[in-house]
Amino acid sequence: TYDIYNKVITLCDALADSEGFTTLEKRLISVGLRHGTTLHTSLHWKGFYKIKNELEGLLNKSIYKLLPGVEDSIYTSIDH
């Protein structure tokens, strides 16, 4: 099982791309477009959301409030 440290590292990796921080949805779609998906992809994606929800519960706010530039990423195209 993952401890809180590993969960934070896992989520940070899922929320960053070559341009900086981005939304989880955008990052997952970008990776899926570039590398393809498998039968297990949805399980991995659900795992990221489970970690995100857990950390947001501990923080009592959206993880995006802590990530500089994440809002700007909404207006850029998805890398693929």
H-type helices in 1-80, by residue range?
A: 4-14, 24-35, 41-59, 70-73
- How far apart CA 28 and CA 72 sit, in angstroms, is 17
Which residues 6+ apart lie within 8 Å of 37 measured at CB?
A: none
Whether the Cβ atoms of residue 78 and residue 26 lie closer than 8 Å to each other = yes
pTM above 0.85, yes or no: yes
Report which residue type is found at 22: T
Burial of 42 per CB tally in 10 Å (0-12, 13-18, 19+) = exposed
pLDDT (tens digit, 0 to 9) for every residue of the chain, 80 residues total?
789 999 999 999 999 988 899 999 999 999 999 999 999 999 999 999 999 999 999 999 999 999 999 988 888 888 77
